Structure 1
C-alpha cells in the first residue's frame, strides 16, 4: 500500500478550481487542474492511494478502476518532480 504526502518546500495558491505551486529554492512552477488540486488538498496529511481514490470517486464522476490508474500515474509524475512523498506501508 502506497501512502502519499505533500512534498516539502512548496508554496501553493488556488486559482478557481486549479492550483499554482512554486518551489522557490528549485525555481520550479507547477499548475494543477481541478483533480490534481483536489488530490493535493487530500494529502495535507499522508493518505493511502485507496483512500485518495475513494474520496475522488465521491467528488468526481469517475469509476474506481479508471480513478486508481489515473491517480497512480499522477502520483508517479508528482514523485518524479519532488512534489510528493511516497512511502510503502
Structure 2
C-alpha cells in the first residue's frame, strides 16, 4: 500500500475550531480530548475529506507553503497517523485501479 492508496478522512464527530493566524483546535466531545494544530496541520485537516490521498495532501502543502522541507511527506504521514490513533481521523484505503 502506498500513500497514493490511503485517503484519510475526518471523524465527523470532531469539532474543528480555527483560531488566530490559521492555528486551530480539534475537540472530541465524546472524550473531552483537544488537539492543537499549527497552520500546516490545519491545512492538512481541511484536506482530510476521503478524496485526497496523502500524496495529494503533500502536493497541496508544497503549493501553499514556502520552504517545505524535503522530509515533509514522512512528517505529514506521521501526523495523520497520530490523528487516526487518537480517533480524530480514519483512513479509507482505495484498491489500485479503482480510485
Say yes or no: TM over 0.5: yes
1:10 aligns with 2:19: no
Give 2:68's aligned residue: 62
CA RMSD after TM alignment: 1.2
Q: 1:4, 1:85 within 8 Å by CA — same for their partners in 2?
A: yes
Quick check: which one's helix share is greater?
1
Superposition misfits of 4+ residues, deviation over 2 angstroms? none
After superposition, give the CA deviation of every residue in 1:19-64 in whole Å (9 maximum; x if it has no partner).
Answer: 1121111111111111110101112x2111111011001111214x
Structure 1: where are the runs of 5+ without partners?
none
Match of 1:37 among 42, 53, 59: 42
TM-score by length of 1: 0.88
Q: How many residues align?
A: 87
SS in 2 for 1:30: strand
Show structure 2 runs of 5+ residues with no match: 95-99
The structure that is strand-richer by fraction is: 1
Normalised TM-score (structure 2): 0.80
Decide which structure has the larger Cα Rg and report it. 2
